[in-house]
Structure 1
């Protein structure tokens, strides 16, 4: 019986050594750089739109003009450019030869001349901010992706023809649009 105990004790001892004793041939270490770069660094600028001279009256032709928005964002960074309603909003005035317009230029006598801003040369897709701040729900923002260099977006303006206003002769109508870049 003594041999049985010694054999069991010896087996347990070797089993213990098998799980606790190991040999190492050496140890090596290295570094692993971990970093992150915060996206951003976008820039934004815009040129104005000048429609020129408007001959008010029922037979007045529509006027078109363009402006530009310059966006620079890092490569692959998605962005959206929105245009608000401007400082003067018309109350649903309809020109006899044109669509309902809500943006307006105001003259010194508070008369208003309606206009609209579009994303496309055909002037069918209104540029607004309905999908962002929603100050001008008639249109949505323009989406893009940064390329690490300047990207020029064209803004297509339209003053519908046939608007009747009694602004002073040679008066200038103005409005200010806020351009917002979300990235």
Structure 2
């Protein structure tokens, strides 16, 4: 009824009241399509530097800490291992910071799991790593470091590069 009234009103406006009023026929056709997204198990890792600071004599032990951030897909299990480091003679159980240039001296240090300074954090076996389950957001894992009291080598900048690896 409303269509007819609208049609009659339109015809009278244009002065064609004697023309038949018909609704325009309209044809349609439809199609459907799927929208998909696959979430694959994935992890990314980022690490922050650990600086033990500046010391004149290594006659007492000192500690420091940093974080390794792991972001994994929700419900994805992961484990993070830390390499022995690039210091000359480093192993998982005995890590060293090396001097620069011709200085072949080293400084002993160690990296520990987030629970303190008693369990070494390594990468040789799964048990040496820190494990968790992803939640889709960054998870900060604390790396505890310790330098024991030891004979003080020549003044220099001592360093080691440790590789953090996430397994998933």
TM-score by length of 1: 0.64
- How far is 1:167 from its partner? 1.6
Q: Name the SS for the 1:87 alignment partner.
A: coil
Q: Could you say if the C-alpha distance between residues 102 and 173 of structure 1 is closer, same or farther in structure 2, counting changes exceeding 3 Å?
A: same
- How far is 1:112 from its partner? 0.1
For residue 112 of structure 1, what is the aligned residue in structure 2?
Answer: 106
Q: Name the SS for the 2:64 alignment partner.
A: strand
- How far is 1:102 from its partner? 1.1
Deviations 1:67-118 (A, max 9, x none): 11000001110001000111124479xxxxxxxx610100121100000000
Extract unaligned runs of 5+ from structure 1.
1-32, 93-100, 133-138
Q: Could you say if the C-alpha distance between residues 64 and 176 of structure 1 is closer, same or farther in structure 2, counting changes exceeding 3 Å?
A: same
Give me the whole-angstrom Cα distance separating, in 2, the residues matched to 1:89 and 1:160: 17
Extract unaligned runs of 5+ from structure 2.
1-33
Structure 1 residue ranges (4+ consecutive) displaced by more than 6 angstroms after TM superposition:
none
Q: Name the SS for the 2:78 alignment partner.
A: strand
For residue 124 of structure 1, what is the aligned residue in structure 2?
Answer: 118
Residues 42 and 76, structure 2, Cα contact 8 Å, conserved in 1 = no
TM-score by length of 2: 0.70
For residue 80 of structure 1, what is the aligned residue in structure 2?
Answer: 79
For residue 182 of structure 1, what is the aligned residue in structure 2?
Answer: 167
